[in-house]
Amino acid sequence: MKKLVGLMLLLTMLVGTGSAALAEEKVTITFVGIKSEVQDVMKEIIAGFEADHPDIHVEYSYNPDGASGLASMISSGNVPDLLNVYPLEAQYRAYYDNGYIRDVSEFCGNIEQSLLDLCSYNGVQIGVPFTLSTYGVYYNKKIYADLNLEVPTTIEGLLANAKACKDAGYDAFTLPMGGSQNQITERLLGALDGETHLKFAKVAAGELAITDVPSVKAYADLMLALMPLSTEDALGLNYDGATADFVTGKAAMRFDGSWFLSTALKAQPDFEVGYFAIPSAVSDTPIVPVNVDTTVGMSATTKYPEACAKFLEYLTGTEVQSKYYAVDGNINMTKGVVYDKAQLMDVYEAVMAGHMSITQINQWGKNGVLIRQDLGSAIQGLFGDQDVDAYFQACADVIANDWE
């Protein structure tokens, strides 16, 4: 009898020890982000999630190579459990078509339907979308006030302001053509003419000459006009250098997206900064390029779908997204999140009034990323030699080689 009791006690102890060990085990899910400006707030959000879910660890990392970095990971078979995606871009839709990421529609209940309608792909959501980014002109409000400048609504007004800034000893624009030329080019082509993609299709079909694409000519004219008024060595300036020039007051203006506000205020908390829509020489009304920005997708082959589901459910909460929005600055389409970024309000109201177009990269087909890259090289060539004919030929070559 004593032996039986002892055996039972031993078994109880073993079972208890095993249960404790199981309780202490944590599931680790990987999350790869490609948005540098939100790394800190994402870490805060993850810390809050882990406090509520001690059995789940979210291993968050930032890939500085963005879309190309994710492409390298996925092509090598290393698909993160969770990852940032851009649901309107062909590259990410191909990830869904090829079985790398899954439909996450079930986690989108707290997202405004208008954004879901925009993101829908073959009737599914390839990621949970949260934000809509905009692109415009940031300006130093103190410099504008000191020089009695008004926010321009025309290209002529923009160039007049640029000249006034240069005459006062400032760089009119900080132009990081040594790293940001691809995005600046793609966004401005869309801001100058939201139907640039339709003209490109005609060029590809031989129905239109590249010199007759209004935005391509208007972009060259604008850059040639800004060159002598702006960064002296634009080709040697990268994104961080441009940020330093802007927040320290060396330059009065810069082209960038709504996400940049958090970067500017982090560098200079009391910075008096404003934001306006890019005037157009093609359209009477400024058109704001918009893109579906922060979106989180899930691996179709993750070993931990339940843990990923819990994180997505947590991430879609109004309180969590309000915290994210406070840093991110983009238009957040989570139900209950209130847009109150005073610095960005003018552009926000333009978007709400319908004066917007989907960014061109999403309308340039499956080679959108390549087209953007090669057009960026074309504008670098124009900055290097001011040869307009060579610029037009380079743009024509991009359409001939990359358009499908």
Q: What is the pLDDT of residues 32-43, one digit of tens each?
A: 999 988 999 999
User: Based on the domain organization, do 47 and 185 belong to the same domain?
Assistant: no
What is this structure's pTM? Answer: 0.84
Do residues 86 and 174 both lie within one domain?
Answer: no
Residues 209-239: tens digit of each pLDDT: 999 999 999 999 999 999 999 999 999 999 9
Same domain, 73 and 170: no
pLDDT surpasses 70 at 128: yes
Within a domain: 212: yes
CA–CA separation, 150 and 272 (whole Å): 15
Any domain includes 22:
no
Distance CA 333, CA 312 (A): 15
First to last CA, the chain: 83
Note whether residue 266 is domain-resident: yes
Check residue 138 and report its DSSP letter: E
Quick one: which of 310, 293, 302, 295 has its CA closest to 79?
A: 302
Same domain, yes or no, for 190 and 76? no
SS3 120: coil
Same domain, 185 and 324: no
**CATH number (domain holding residue 254):** 3.40.190.10
pLDDT of residue 366: 87
The string of pLDDT tens digits covering residues 233-266 is 999 999 999 999 999 999 999 999 999 999 999 9
Confidence band of 200 (pLDDT split at 50, 70, 90): very high
**What local confidence, expressed as pLDDT, does residue 13 receive?**
47
The verdict on 83 and 115 lying in the same domain is: yes
Number of structural domains (the chain) is 2
Whether residue 352 lies inside any domain: the answer is yes
How far apart CA 115 and CA 28 sit, in angstroms, is 31
Question: Can you give the residue range of the structural domain that contains 387?
Answer: 133-291+345-402
pLDDT grade, residue 99 (50/70/90)?
Answer: very high
For residues 45 and 90, membership in a common domain is answered with yes
Quick one: 374 and 233 in the same domain?
A: yes
Confidence tier at 24 by pLDDT (50, 70, 90): low
Which DSSP category does 78 fall into?
Answer: -
Task: Reply yes or no on whether the pLDDT at 19 is more than 80.
Answer: no
Containing H/E element for 167?
Answer: helix 155-167
Give residue 58's pLDDT. 98
Find out whether 39 and 62 touch, Cβ atoms under 8 Å: yes
The answer to whether position 42 is within a domain reads yes
Q: What residues contact residue 236 under an 8 Å CB cut-off, 6+ apart?
A: 178
Runs of H (alpha helix) within 168-281: 181-192, 196-204, 214-226, 239-247, 260-267
Instruction: Answer yes or no: is 12 within a domain.
Output: no
**Does a structural domain hold residue 257?**
yes
CA dist., res. 180 & res. 234, Å (int): 10
| Tokens describing residue 165 | 């800034």
Please return the burial class of 221, using the count of CB atoms within 10 Å of its CB with bins 0-12, 13-18 and 19+. Answer: middle
Of 303, 329, 355, the last residue of a domain is: 329
Instruction: Say whether both 143 and 223 belong to one domain.
Output: yes
**Reduced to 3 DSSP states, what percent helix, strand and coil does the chain have, rounded to the nearest 5?**
55, 15, 30
Residues 155 and 258 in one domain: yes
Amino acid sitting at position 70:
L
Q: Do 123 and 157 sit in the same domain of this protein? A: no
- Same domain? For 201 and 273 the reply is yes
Is residue 15 assigned to a domain? no
